[in-house]
Structures are given as structure tokens and as C-alpha cells.
Amino acid sequence: MNTEIIGVVIMFLATIALAIPLGKYIGKVYSGDKTWADAIFNPIDKIFFKASGINPLKEMNWKQHLVALLTLNALWFLLSMFVLMNMAWLPLNPDANPSMSADLAFNTSVSFISNTNLQHYSGESGVSYLGQMVLMLWQFISAATGMAICAVVFIAMKDKSTESLGNFYNLFIKSCTRILLPISIIIAIVLLFNGTPMTFKGKDQFISLQGDTVNVSRGPAAALVSIKQLGTNGGGFFGANSAHPLENPNYFTNVIENVLIILIPIAMVFALGYIIKRKRFAWLIFGVMTVGFLLLLLPSIQQEMKGNPAIHRMGINQHLGSMEGKEVRFGSAASAYWGITTTCTSNGSVNAMHDSFTPLTGMFAMLGMMINSFFGGVGVGFLNFYIFIIIAVFISGLMVGRTPEFLGKKIEAKEMKIAAIIALLHPLLILSGTALSSWLYAHNPTTYAAWLNNPGNHGFSEMLYEMTSSSANNGSGFEGLGDNTPFWNIVCGTIMLLGRFLPIIGPVAIAGILAKKKYIPESAGTLKTDTGTFGIMVFAVIFIIAALSFFPALALGPIAEYFGIR
């Protein structure tokens, strides 16, 4: 078999092999069971809790959880705005990079706090080391926020009627100290040995063979790169992100980083199985997510390895596949694999230019973000999937002649209302955002000429991709889009905010309301949610709601482009 494909298979299998035990470990952490890390971190946690006056054993209901989450995030947002708009005079700025404009700072702050990491700036020249480190802090915090609130939903799904769903601060701190921090430290050290820099010194210089002086940006990159991948953040230290040789020096680091991208999103599914004691159900969710993921991945790899028909017609040999915008050290298969994993998981780091993918791969990358729940972002990916489960349970419950119930709780009008709103939010944000930019561009082509490097179908894809990436909290870009303008900064910032917090509030509210309801034991008439048939149902719901509503838009972008160059 082709070595490139073997590389991809190994990456995927290694991820699953690691995710299963990690999932169990995460389950233990959130259930409050004993783990090896307790001995090290319990004393540290205690100091935090004592200093802040928080009682980690105080149980919260779903509303209190959301209040805690939103308040904390609002405070972090303000702090982030302050640092980014004042980095010029703040310490740790050896390269004398300037402060950000208000609209860019807004976009960047929202982007990092919402776990999106959309970057309308370039790391080398746009932020100081202090800025980088603050952003890195958000990479921990936003990932831990998503995981903690997902844990709240897990707890709510247990077989009982309760209002107390754990303590948010406790779950949040534990997400950081027990899961994100230990793995990040190990990976950062591995990256360090492979050549990723970790220093506070400013730019380095060397004189090339041609005699030119070359400036090389560096900084505390290894630490940031590990959490950016682990926490599905994706915001790179350098502008070229993981295609940059200092962020992702070789094929080995590429494997490690790519495993990290989907490690926790998969592990969270197994953590669910551990917490609610329904392993079969967890495997079913894993199965549905994997099938969806593979349906996006396999044709993408095929398309990239086949090469671009337009280049083929020019008589250029493409035995390496479509290599435009890709790194030779990774190759076309691994780049396609990264492209799909990073979009399916809302990570958004890139090791190749998505703009240069063949049209269908670009579409599959967009679909990954539009669906946003084939693994999805850490914690929040499952929350998106949860909404689809609720809708699938409702329809299939009706199909077997029983008022729908999910894990022993009846689903009624109130839950359906929330689920319907959240399900239509994503199409609303993406389509109306793209509609707005298309309308502006179509009616004032000269004013907005700088937006698009490629007009026509591809230009449309660029705009659609940017809006999708913002709404899905992904953060990758189709590039080729002149996006550091007040319009894109503010619109994308707003979409990221809505696309982050509403899909957290909705599922938590549903789970909280369901948790309070009376528990109905299973009988022979109860629809089992851990069967293949139900899996097909969930898949169909995702396909029809999340994928088909984008069909007309995709037809004008990548599909038209595909038929155009064929």
C-alpha cells in the first residue's frame, strides 16, 4: 500500500487507541473518582479554592453553571481587550510589535475566548510575546470551559432525577490541571526536541548563501503549539500556522500534532460512556461520528492524491497529487487528513493552504465545519451532537408510537423549542453572514475589490468558508480573503460569539430540564438509543438539517468550481 495512506491509517488508529484509555481517565476525573494525578494536583487545587473562597463541593443547577461560565468568560474578554490594545508598551515585546486596533482586538479576543482562534493578524508581527502568552492562556481556558460544560451535560444524562449537576469551578479547574496541562507539558517537550523554539529572545538573524540578511521570528512557541492542538484551538504562533517549519518541523511532529487534534474530541465520547455507564451508547455515538468523518475524509484524500485536473491538462506531472499550497515534507494524503480533522473538530490549525485544496476537498472541509459535530471541538462538539440526538429521538419516538424519551426522560415542547433554535442557528449565522458579504460585494464591486483575490465561484467559497469557520468556532481560513477590515473583524467576531455561547446554553438548558424530570425505567416499548438503527436516524437528521441546508450555497461555490474545472 501507498506509504502516504499507511501514514494516515496509522495516525487515525493511534488516535483511537489513545482516546479509549484517555476517555476513561477523563470520565474518572469528572466523576470524582481517584486518579494518579490527585496526589500532585489536589494540594494545588486546594490553594486555588481557598484563595478564591470557592467551595468545590457546592452543587449547582444548570442555570448557575451557565451564569458562572458566562461571567468568567466576560471577565477574560475584558482582560484580553486590555492586553491586545496595549501590548506596544507592555513588557515582553522584544520585536516592538504594535498594539491592535479596537476592531482587530475585539475579533482576536472573541476568537480566542470562543476557542475559535480565527486570526486576522500574523503572529510574527501582530502580537508581542505577552500577547502570545495571554492568547495561550485563553487556549487553556476556552478548552477547559468547553470540557467542563460538556461534563455538566454528561452528569445531567445520568439515570436519576436531580437538579444538582456538580460544581462548575471544580470541573473547570480539573479540566485544566488533570487533563490539558499534563498532556500539553509532555507534548511541548517532544516538540522542543524536534526543533520548535521556546525562548523569550527576539528575532534571530542569519546571512544566507546569497548574502542576504534573513530575520527569523521565534519565541515561546512549543508551549503554545501543544495546547493549540490539544484544546482544538488552532491559533498558530506564526502566521503560516502548522505549515511553518518551526511549528511543525517534520513528519513525526505532524503525526503527533494531528493525533492531538482529534484526541480529546474522541476521548470525550468514551468519557460519556464511563460517566453514564452506557458503553454501548458511547460506541454508537463514536460509530456515527466516525462514519460521518470518514465520508468526508476518504473522498478528500482521493481528490488530493489524484491531483488537479486543470493542472493535469497543462501537461504537468502530478504523481505526488495536488501539491499546490502543500508542504513537501507532509505530502498530499497527510495534508488532506489534517485538513479534514482540523475542520471536523473545530481546531482550525492548518498544515496546508485550504484555499488551494481541490474544490471538493474544500467543500468537505466546509461540511466538516457546517456539521461541526463529527467529533467537533473539545466538549462543545458533543453538545452540538446532543442537539441532533434530541431531534432524532423525538422523530423516532414518534415513529414507534411512543411519546419520545431519551435516557428515561420525556422530551416535550420546551426541549424541542430549544433544540430547534440551536439547530437552525448555525445555518442562520453562516448563510446570512455570507449573504451580507455577497450582497455588499455584488452591489459595490469596486469598494470591496480588495476582499477577494479570486472572484467567481472560488471567491464565493472564500467568503462562505470564513463565515463557516467563524460560526463553527474553527478558526481556519480559506486565505485569499482580505479579512483584516472592520467589516470582517466585527461580523466574524459577532458570529463567533453567537456561534460559541448559544450552542452551549441550549444543550445545557435541555440537559438541565431533562435531568429534573421524572426518570422512566426502560420497558420493551422503549426505543433503545444504542442500536444501529437509531445511529442511522441520527445520521439522517444531521445530513438533512446540517448538510442539506447548505446545498444551494455549496452549489454556487465548490460544486460549481468542481464541474467547471473537470
Partner 1 sequence: MAKQSNKLFESSLVNEALKQSFIKLNPKTMFKNPVMFCVWVGTIVMAAVCVWIAMGERNQGSLVYNIIVTAVLLITLLFANFAEAIAEARGKAQADSLRKTREETPAKWIQPVGEIYTNEVKIVPSSQLKKGDVFLCETGDVIPMDGEIIEGIATIDESAITGESAPVIRESGGDKSSVTGGTKVLSDRIKVRVTTEPGESFLDKMIALVEGASRQKTPNEIALTILLAGFTLVFIIVCVTLKPFGDYASTPITIAAFISLFVCLIPTTIGGLLSAIGIAGMDRALRANVITKSGKAVETAGDLDTLLLDKTGTITIGNRKATNFYPANGVDTKVFIEACVLSSLADETPEGKSIIELANLDKKTFDTTGAAFIEFTAETRSSGINLPSGIRVRKGAADSIKNIAERAGNPFPAETADSVKTIASNGGTPLVVSQNEKIIGVIELQDIIKPGIQERFERLRKMGVKTVMVTGDNPLTAKFIAEKAGVDDFIAEAKPEDKMNYIKREQQGGKLVAMMGDGTNDAPALAQADVGVAMNSGTAAAKEAGNMVDLDNDPTKLIEIVEIGKQLLMTRGTLTTFSIANDVAKYFAIVPALFIASIPALQGMNIMKLHSPESAILSAVIFNAIIIPLLIPLALRGVAYKPIGASALLRRNLLIYGLGGVIVPFIGIKLIDLLVSIWF
Give residues in contact with partner 1 (CB under 8 A): 391, 394-403, 408, 411-413, 415-417, 419-421, 423-424, 427-428, 431-432, 434-436, 438-439, 441-443, 457, 460, 518-521, 523-528, 531, 533-534, 536-537, 540, 544-545, 548-549, 551-553, 555-556, 559-560, 563-564, 566
Min. distance of Cβ 526 from partner 1 in angstroms? 6
The secondary structure of residue 198, as a DSSP letter, is B
Return the number of the residue (319 or 443) whose C-beta is nearest partner 1.
Answer: 443
Contact 500, 146 (CB under 8 A): no
Q: Dihedral of the CA atoms 415, 30, 228, 462 (nearest 10)?
A: -10
Return the number of the residue (379 or 397) whose C-beta is nearest partner 1.
Answer: 397
Return the number of the residue (103 or 412) whose C-beta is nearest partner 1.
Answer: 412
Return the number of the residue (221 or 545) whose C-beta is nearest partner 1.
Answer: 545
Return the number of the residue (150 or 369) whose C-beta is nearest partner 1.
Answer: 369
Contact 214, 208 (CB under 8 A): yes
Min. distance of Cβ 79 from partner 1 in angstroms? 35
Return the number of the residue (102 or 556) whose C-beta is nearest partner 1.
Answer: 556
Return the number of the residue (267 or 422) whose C-beta is nearest partner 1.
Answer: 422
Residue for cell digits 431533562? Answer: 514
Min. distance of Cβ 74 from partner 1 in angstroms? 29
Min. distance of Cβ 553 from partner 1 in angstroms? 6
Return the number of the residue (30 or 550) whose C-beta is nearest partner 1.
Answer: 550
Q: Strand, coil or helix: what is 352?
A: strand
Give start and end residues of each alpha helix (H) in 400-485: 413-443, 456-471
Return the number of the residue (274 or 460) whose C-beta is nearest partner 1.
Answer: 460
Q: How many CA atoms lie within 13 A of 375 on its CB side?
A: 29
How far apart (Å, rounded) are the C-alpha atoms in residues 566 and 558? 12
Min. distance of Cβ 551 from partner 1 in angstroms? 5
Q: How many CA atoms lie within 13 A of 302 on its CB side?
A: 8
Contact 260, 254 (CB under 8 A): no
Min. distance of Cβ 152 from partner 1 in angstroms? 23
Burial (CB < 10 A; 0-12, 13-18, 19+), residue 2, is exposed
Cell of 524: 420493551
Min. distance of Cβ 537 from partner 1 in angstroms? 6
* Long-range Cβ contacts of 450-456 (<8 Å, 24+ apart): 450/482, 450/485, 451/481, 451/482, 451/485, 451/488, 452/480, 452/481, 452/482, 453/480, 453/481, 453/482, 454/480
Q: Strand, coil or helix: what is 446?
A: coil
Min. distance of Cβ 348 from partner 1 in angstroms? 24
Min. distance of Cβ 398 from partner 1 in angstroms? 3
Min. distance of Cβ 530 from partner 1 in angstroms? 10
Strands 213-216 and 409-410, sheet pairing? unpaired
Burial (CB < 10 A; 0-12, 13-18, 19+), residue 412, is middle
Q: Of the candidates 182, 170, 230, which has an alpha carbon nearest to the alpha carbon of residue 30?
A: 170
Return the number of the residue (103 or 530) whose C-beta is nearest partner 1.
Answer: 530
